[in-house]
């Protein structure tokens, strides 16, 4: 079993928190002490609260999300608006300390990124750099419908160029019955990337028995 996974996505609002929560829930139910970590959030710390609830652990939102910006946008963009607010800085030391805390305390830690893989956290430091730093295997969350092929293949391409271990792709959310591409997108992604693919329909749970690739 890995020490943890990094959950990124093809875009914001794609399902990283939903998928991370379902993975944490499944691990907790199987008796595995699971940490959850969302290093940076913007707008609110609701992702951290949802992750804590799913993992059923006694942690507060500030520990799970040590770096926070008020403006609901990229962390770098928000930092430009909030540079006069003392604790609103992207503090990599703080994130590193928190990361080590979770990996030492829990058997397995689910880490959620922010938006997609090239969201800037600082002017020249992106979510992809955080992935490199943590060096955890990566799960890519994507949408089911039209447009997801390009977004998913771009994200996979970037991770491959960074020599990151990609565990697989999870398509998550509602399937639009009027979108014909939904019928073939998953199989096309699988054929092209040769990665495991999980289709996680609306309100479905993650079955770790059937998808062991997610955790080992």
Ligand X SMILES: C[C@H](N)[C@H](N)CCCCCC(=O)O
Indicate which residues carry an active-site annotation.
Answer: 38
DSSP state of 205: P
**Residue 109 binds which entry of ligand X, Mg ion, ligand ATP, none, CB below 5-8 Å type-dependent:** none
Site for ligand X in 83-102 (CB under 6 A): none
Least distance in angstroms from the C-beta of 84 to ligand ATP: 25
The interface region with Mg ion, picked from 12-20, 59-67, 126-134, 149-157 by CB under 5 A, is 12-20
Q: For ligand ATP, which is the closer residue by CB, 141 or 215?
A: 141
Query: Least distance to ligand X from the beta carbon of 25, Å?
Result: 21
Site string for ligand X, 9-38 (x = CB under 6 A): ---x--------------------------
Nearer to ligand X, 73 or 153 (CB): 73
Dihedral sign computed on CA atoms, order 168, 151, 39, 127: positive
Q: In the chain, at which residue ranges do the beta strands (DSSP E only) sit?
A: 4-9, 34-37, 40-42, 67-69, 108-112, 120-122, 125-126, 138-142, 166-172, 197-200
In the complex, least distance from residue 68 CB atom to ligand X, rounded to whole angstroms: 11
DSSP state at residue 159: H
Rounded-to-integer distance, Cα 96 and Cα 66, Å:
10
| Cα distances (angstroms) measured from residue 13 to each of 9, 30, 121, 143 | 9, 28, 17, 9
Q: Which is nearer to ligand X, 32 or 73 (CB)?
A: 73
Q: Which two tokens stand for residue 3?
A: 């020490």
Binding site for ligand ATP (CB under 6 A): 9, 12-18, 47, 115, 172-173, 200, 202-204
> Residue 119 annotated as binding?
no
Output the CA torsion sign for 103, 106, 108, 112.
negative
Q: Residue 191, class by beta-carbon neighbours within 10 Å (0-12 exposed, 13-18 middle, 19+ buried)?
A: exposed
What single-letter DSSP state applies at residue 204? P
**By CB under 6 A, residue 43 contacts ligand X:** yes
**Mask 58-77, x = binds ligand X (CB under 6 A)?**
--------------xxx---
Residue 11 vs 47, nearer CB to Mg ion: 47
The response to whether 155 counts as a known ligand-binding position is: no
| Residues in binding site for substrate | 42
Q: Using CB under 5 A as the criterion, which residues of the chain lie in contact with Mg ion when the complex forms?
A: 16-17, 47
């Amino acid at each position: 079993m890995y020490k943890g996974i990094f959950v990124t996505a093809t875009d914001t609002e794609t399902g990283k928190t939903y998928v991370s929560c379902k993975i944490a829930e499944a691990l907790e139910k199987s008796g595995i002490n699971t940490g959850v970590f969302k290093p940076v959030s913007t707008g609110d710390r609701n992702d951290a609260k949802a992750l804590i609830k799913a993992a059923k652990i006694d942690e507060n939102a500030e520990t799970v999300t040590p770096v926070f910006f008020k403006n609901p946008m990229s962390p770098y963009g928000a930092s430009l608006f909030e540079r006069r607010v003392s604790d609103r800085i992207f503090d990599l030391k703080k994130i590193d300390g928190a990361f080590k805390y979770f990996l030492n305390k829990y058997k397995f830690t689910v880490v959620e990124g922010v938006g997609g893989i090239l969201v800037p956290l600082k002017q020249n430091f992106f979510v992809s750099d955080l992935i490199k730093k943590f060096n955890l295997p990566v799960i890519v969350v994507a949408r089911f419908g039209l447009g997801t092929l390009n977004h998913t293949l771009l994200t996979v391409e970037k991770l491959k160029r960074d020599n990151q271990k990609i565990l697989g792709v999870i398509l998550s959310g509602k399937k639009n019955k009027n979108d014909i591409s939904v019928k073939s997108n998953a199989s096309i992604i699988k054929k092209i990337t040769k990665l495991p693919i999980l289709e996680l329909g609306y309100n479905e749970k993650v079955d770790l028995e059937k998808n062991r690739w997610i955790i080992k």
